[in-house]
Structure 1
Amino acid sequence: MAQAVAGPEIERLIQLLARLPGLGPRSARRAALHLIAKREQLLGPLSEAMRVANERIVVCETCGNVDTSDPCTICRDPGRDSSIIVVVEGVSDLWALERAGALRARYHVLGGVLSALDGVRPEHLNVDALVKRAAEPGVREIILALNATVDGQTTAHYLTDLVSHLPVRVTRLAHGVPVGGELDYLDEGTLSAALRQRTAF
């Protein structure tokens, strides 16, 4: 059995860092040592930023985004097109679409996707609030910006059925060849989707 080479405080830091996505035990040890070596520049400011974030960050009750205010900055923005709601799986997807800057619409974070394997059912997701928002006057389109996985597609079909009685158009993101992508490096599913959804040139 391997013995701890550092005090319990450092071991605790490593264990917590190892819980972060993309960090295993080895990466967590490297990150911890780097933070300790740069105590003044990194460790102190990081712990203060985390304390402030823990105190002030809230989940927007309207869309499910995280921010320091409720409603969030996006929901309060009068320059947004309130007739379009973009449905995403998680906050990271919302942020990715915002970075792309292609559409200034409103968002709705589901908090996951339906998954029989993981036991995720409709009641575990932010679905009821979406249906209420879709029924609001002025909403014309729901864009399902869900991942192109089996669970993502299952969720998209479920949501489409849920709002089918409403006078809203339901669309989804196009799937296919990414900009700059080379056909030889793409998987068969992506190529099939690209061929099925081909457009006029």
Structure 2
Amino acid sequence: MTDVPSMDALAMLLRRLPGIGPRSAQRISYELLVRKRELMPQLAAALQQAHTVVRFCERCNNLSESSRCGVCRAEHRDRSIVCVVESPADLRAIEDTGVFAGEFFVLMGHLSPLDGIGPEALHIDRLTARLAEADLREVIFATNPTLEGEATAQFLAGLVPNGIIVSRIARGVPVGGELEYVDRGTLGRALHGRRLLDE
């Protein structure tokens, strides 16, 4: 605490963001107030603008400024395949590969009973509606390879109607990785998920 209540209030708000601890929040506050003061009105305006116009896409639950996001509006997407991800950042990472041409559904989190995050927090009603569409052929679960991500994928797989292919993104050794430095779990999954050499 300082004798500048406004700065303390700013630091307290910054601390509520992921990855920003008390010291980082204090440094950011000082930086904004001392060296980057001209950014503060722009930052405030950008926050207000985002708060006013950003909403959830009615089809995939991604962040958007219109009723449907750019991915859902694209006519070239394969509507028979849906990739389920935890966050808009995960969607962007998959999009950046240029490999996936299907559609997405963004959960905005994962199951975590210890943190009070249950199925109702994952917009499952919207996902269920998407899973009921007649043209759906495959659902790919691309949740994170954590305990919570695995539990989420298993739970949601039970909601997929019969006759629809349910798959999980492959996991294993990263490109450029050396086997001696890869953890046992990752290496084990890579062995179980091996493919023929000519595929």
TM-score, normalisation: structure 1: 0.89
1:58-80, Cα deviation, whole Å (9 max, x unpaired): 11222111111111222111122
Distance 1:184 1:108, change over 3 A: same
Q: Give the equivalent residue in structure 2 for 1:26.
A: 23
Shift of 1:131: 2.5
1:48-100, Cα deviation, whole Å (9 max, x unpaired): 11111111111122211111111122211112211111101222211222223
Indicate which of 183, 197, 201 corresponds to 2:179. 183
Indicate which of 29, 35, 38 corresponds to 2:36. 38
Any conservation in 1 of the 2:71–2:103 contact (CA below 8 Å)? yes
1:3-25, Cα deviation, whole Å (9 max, x unpaired): x3342111111111121111111
SS at match of 2:66: coil
Percent of aligned pairs sharing the same letter? 45
In 2, Cα distance between the equivalents of 1:91 and 1:140? 23
Shift of 1:126: 1.9
In 1, Cα distance between the equivalents of 2:86 and 2:140? 12
In 2, Cα distance between the equivalents of 1:118 and 1:10? 29
1:126 aligns with 2:98: no
1:100-157, Cα deviation, whole Å (9 max, x unpaired): 3321221111232233433433333222322221221221111100111222222222
SS at match of 2:166: strand
Indicate which of 154, 157, 164 corresponds to 1:168. 164
1:200 aligns with 2:189: no
In 2, Cα distance between the equivalents of 1:39 and 1:121? 41
Q: Give the equivalent residue in structure 1 for 2:106.
A: 109
Q: Give the equivalent residue in structure 2 for 1:14.
A: 11
1:140 aligns with 2:102: no
Q: Give structure 1 stretches of 5+ with no counterpart.
A: none
- Which has the larger displacement, 150-159 or 25-34? 150-159
SS at match of 2:115: coil
In 1, Cα distance between the equivalents of 2:161 and 2:196? 29
SS at match of 1:162: coil
Distance 1:120 1:46, change over 3 A: closer
In 2, Cα distance between the equivalents of 1:134 and 1:162? 8
TM-score, normalisation: structure 2: 0.90
Q: Give the equivalent residue in structure 1 for 2:72.
A: 75
In 1, Cα distance between the equivalents of 2:102 and 2:131? 13
Shift of 1:178: 0.9
Shift of 1:189: 0.5
CA RMSD of superposed structures (Å)? 1.7
Query: Which consecutive aligned stretches of 4+ in structure 1 deviate over 6 angstroms post-superposition?
Result: none
Shift of 1:194: 0.6
In 2, Cα distance between the equivalents of 1:189 and 1:116? 24
